[in-house]
């Protein structure tokens, strides 16, 4: 941690330096993220400060403290935001990432099977140099994260950013599962299982963008999908998407 070059500010000082809100929490369980500069360097401050104080004290500070501890454990890993310090009861300061979200895929009906949607290309509205190698680099980072005893547990498109030079960055470790030196057998087993789920989910995201680039090993991995992930997919494809279409048509 580069504590020596930045001075620790308290919550009020931080909020008075804020230049803009990068991400506005949309529910009581979601923190906001603010951008500020200090000594010419950009930082991000993740905090529940905008929420009413009971939610912040009961849930917010605890979950952010946990996320801060996890990110501290992952400081040696590149591809994870560097954290600097925790602001008691409020949140934490981390490096500001010059990064984009992974663009959405565009779903287009194929002529042969018009009833089925097929992914044809990445949305052209969102500029991107995304390639299969991006996901391979992401897998290497994920394995490094696992080696340090952290299972991410919330791998999805929005929690992987595209940094400069197409470098993947994993964010949002609020629901991560940590295995320590002294973890017992059961915790170790759960950890291994969650790491596998992380890897399967990442390969499935890669497959959804670049189906032709999936290797034999990746195919084997995603064919061992646990039942609850299959159930989630069923809900998304057979219930959520058709309902969304009906509501869109009505508008
Ligand atoms: N360190 C950061 N620097 C710049 N933007 C960030 C940073 N961390 C998060 N963001 C932005 O904020 C969004 C939400 O961050 P995330 O940690 O996933 O919050 P949540 O827990 O609410 O899902 C991200 O999609 C990203 O656009
Ligand atoms: Mg998130």
Work out the angle between the directed axes of helices 227-234 and 185-209 (0-180°, nearest 10). 40
Residue 137 binned pLDDT confidence (cut-offs 50, 70, 90): very high
Which atom of ligand 1 is nearest to 94's Cα?
1
Q: What is the mean pLDDT of residues 204-211?
A: 91
Whole-angstrom distance, CA of residue 251 vs CA of residue 96? 38
Q: From residue 243, how far is each of 113, 140, 235 by CA, in Å?
A: 20, 37, 11
* pLDDT for the residue numbered 71: 98
Percentage of residues of the chain with pLDDT beyond 70: 74
Q: Which two tokens stand for residue 21?
A: 């809100």
Q: Which atom of ligand 1 is nearest to the CA of 158?
A: 25
Give the whole-angstrom CA distance, residue 33 versus residue 66.
Answer: 16
- Residue whose CA is closest, atom 13 of ligand 1? 23
> Quick one: residue 149, left, alpha or beta (phi over 0 = left, psi -120 to 50 = alpha)?
left
Homologous superfamily of 128-250 in CATH? Transferase(Phosphotransferase) domain 1 (1.10.510.10)
For residues 160 and 167, is the Cβ–Cβ distance under 8 A? no
The pTM score is 0.84
**Residue 119, pLDDT above cutoff 80:** no
Structure confidence by residue, pLDDT tens digits, 213-244: 999 999 999 987 766 666 666 666 667 667 76
DSSP string covering 127-139: -----HHHHHHHH
223/131 Cα distance (integer angstroms): 23
Residue 3, pLDDT above cutoff 60 = no
| pLDDT score, position 85 | 96
Residue 117 or residue 97, greater confidence: 97
Q: In the chain, pLDDT over 90 holds for what percent of residues?
A: 59
What kind of architecture, by CATH, is found in domain 3-95? 2-Layer Sandwich (3.30)
d(C-alpha 250, C-alpha 244), whole Å: 10
Residue 107: in which H helix or E strand, if any? strand 105-109
Ligand 1: does its nearest atom lie under 6 Å from the Cβ of 176? no
Ligand 1 near 172 CB (within 6 A) = yes
* Domain residue limits, the chain: 3-95, 128-250
- Whether ligand 1 lies within 6 angstroms of the CB of 198 is answered as no
Q: Is 63 in the pocket of ligand 1 (CB under 6 A)?
A: no
Give 29's contacts (C-beta < 8 A, 6+ positions apart): 55, 59, 63
């Amino acid at each position: 941690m580069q504590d020596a070059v930045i001075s620790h500010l308290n919550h009020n000082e931080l909020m008075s330096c804020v230049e803009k809100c990068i991400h506005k929490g949309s529910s009581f369980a979601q923190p906001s993220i603010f951008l500020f500069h200090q000594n010419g360097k950009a930082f991000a401050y993740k905090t529940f400060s905008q929420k009413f104080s009971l939610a912040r004290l009961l849930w917010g500070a605890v979950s952010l403290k946990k996320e801060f501890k996890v990110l501290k454990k992952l400081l040696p890993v590149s591809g994870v935001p560097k954290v600097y310090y925790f602001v008691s009861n409020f949140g934490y300061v981390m490096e500001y990432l010059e990064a984009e979200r992974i663009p959405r895929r565009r779903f287009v009906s194929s002529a042969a099977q018009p009833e089925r949607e097929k992914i044809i290309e990445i949305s052209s509205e969102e500029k991107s140099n995304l390639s299969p190698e991006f996901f391979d680099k992401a897998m290497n980072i994920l394995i490094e994260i696992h080696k340090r005893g952290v299972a991410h547990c919330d791998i999805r498109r929005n929690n992987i950013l595209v940094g400069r030079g197409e470098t993947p960055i994993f964010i949002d470790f609020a629901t991560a599962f940590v295995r320590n030196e002294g973890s017992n057998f059961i915790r170790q087993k759960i950890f291994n299982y969650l790491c596998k789920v992380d890897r399967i989910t990442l390969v499935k995201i890669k497959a959804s963008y670049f189906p032709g680039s999936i290797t034999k090993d990746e195919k084997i991995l995603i064919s061992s999908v646990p039942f609850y992930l299959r159930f989630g997919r069923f809900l998304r494809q057979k219930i959520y998407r058709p309902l969304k279409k009906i509501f869109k048509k009505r508008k």
